[in-house]
Homo-oligomer: A and B are copies of this chain.
Amino acid sequence: MPPESTPRFEVLYCGDTTLDTAAGYLAGLLAHAGIKFQYVPSDRAVDEKLLASPWSLLILSDYPAPRLSKELHATVVSRVEKGAGLLMIGGWESFHGLGGDWDGTPIGDLLPVTISNTDDRWNCDRPLIVKQRAGHAIVDGLPWGTRPPLVGGLNRVQAKPGDKTLLTAEQFELEWEADAPKLTASASYPLLVVGQRGQGRVAAFASDVAPHWVGPLVDWGDARVSAKAPGTEGIEVGDLYTEFFTRLVSWTAGRP
Query: Using a CB–CB distance below 8 Å, which chain A residues touch chain B?
Result: 21, 123-129, 131, 144-150, 152-153, 170, 172-176, 179, 181, 183, 185, 211-212, 214-221, 224, 236, 238, 240-241
Contacts and interface: CB of A to CB of B under 8 A. Distances in A.
Nearest to A21: B21
Contacts of A185: 179
19 contacts: A123-B219, A123-B236, A123-B238, A124-B219, A125-B149, A125-B218, A125-B220, A125-B238, A125-B240, A126-B216, A127-B216, A128-B216, A144-B176, A146-B175, A148-B174, A181-B183, A211-B211, A212-B215, A212-B218
B21 A125 contact: no
Number of copies of chain A assembled together: 2
Given A127-B181, A148-B176, 20 more contacts: A123-B238, A125-B147, A125-B149, A125-B150, A125-B218, A127-B127, A127-B216, A129-B174, A129-B181, A146-B176, A147-B175, A148-B174, A148-B175, A148-B181, A150-B174, A152-B216, A152-B218, A153-B219, A170-B181, A215-B216
A131 B176 contact: yes
A172 to B, nearest CB: 7
Contact of A212 (B127, B183, B214, B224): B214
Contacts of A147: 125-126, 173-175
A135 to B, nearest CB: 15
A224 B121 CA distance: 12
B174 A181 contact: no
A114 B145 CA distance: 37
Contacts of A217: 125
Contacts of A224: 123
Contacts of A179: 131, 185
Nearest to A17: B233
A145 B212 contact: no
A241 B241 CA distance: 27
A123 to B, nearest CB: 4
For the complex of A and B, the 6 pairs showing the least CB-CB separation, nearest first, are A211-B211, A211-B212, A123-B219, A125-B219, A125-B220, A125-B216
Given A129-B181, A183-B183, A219-B153, A145 B21 contact: no
